[in-house]
Amino acid sequence: MGTLSDHLTHLSSTLICMSESTLSTWLEREIRKRGNLSTFAEEIGTSPSVVSRWVRGERRPSPRHCDNIADVLMVDRDFVLDLAGYRPTEEKFAPDDLREKIAQRVRRVNLGNPQNVIILTGIEQVLKENIKR
């Protein structure tokens, strides 16, 4: 029978493996949709061998690479960070902060309306370009 420390270490390792396998499964599926691992690796700024290790569950991407993956795949950054086993800290804004007001409105948009999806996609592209500058 091991110590509490041994059990916690084992639990931590198990949770990391579980999150990495979830990430690897999801990432593999997303890369297949896009077609090419090498192109994906180039888009996120790393080598194909590093991405291959992520897909095999041997390593997990750094938080910076998680941001790049989210940008390239156009998914929520926190979603990727959660899959990779990181616990993102949520930035708090005052209720009257313009960013919070916009985020609240975006969460209420009906994505069943194709026009709304087109508008939000356009807004996302503009924001993405401005963040790069």
Mean pLDDT of residues grouped by 10 in the chain (133 residues)? 50 42 85 90 95 93 94 88 76 75 83 88 86 69
Tell me which DSSP letter residue 80 carries.
Answer: H
Residue spans of alpha helices (H) in 35-74? 37-44, 48-56, 63-73
The pLDDT value given to residue 133 = 65
Assigned superfamily of 4-83 = lambda repressor-like DNA-binding domains (1.10.260.40)
* pLDDT value of position 92: 67
- What is residue 4's predicted lDDT score, i.e. its pLDDT? 54
Distance CA(76)–CA(67), nearest Å, equals 9
Q: Contact at 8 Å (CB) between 31 and 51?
A: yes
SS3 (DSSP) at 94: coil
CA–CA distances in Å: residue 121 to residues 16, 28, 73, 111, 132 = 33, 24, 13, 11, 17
> What is the pLDDT, as a whole number, of residue 50?
96
Answer whether 20's CB lies under 8 Å from 56's CB: no
Contact by Cβ (8 Å): 117, 111: yes
- What is d(CA 78, CA 80) in angstroms, rounded to the nearest whole number? 5
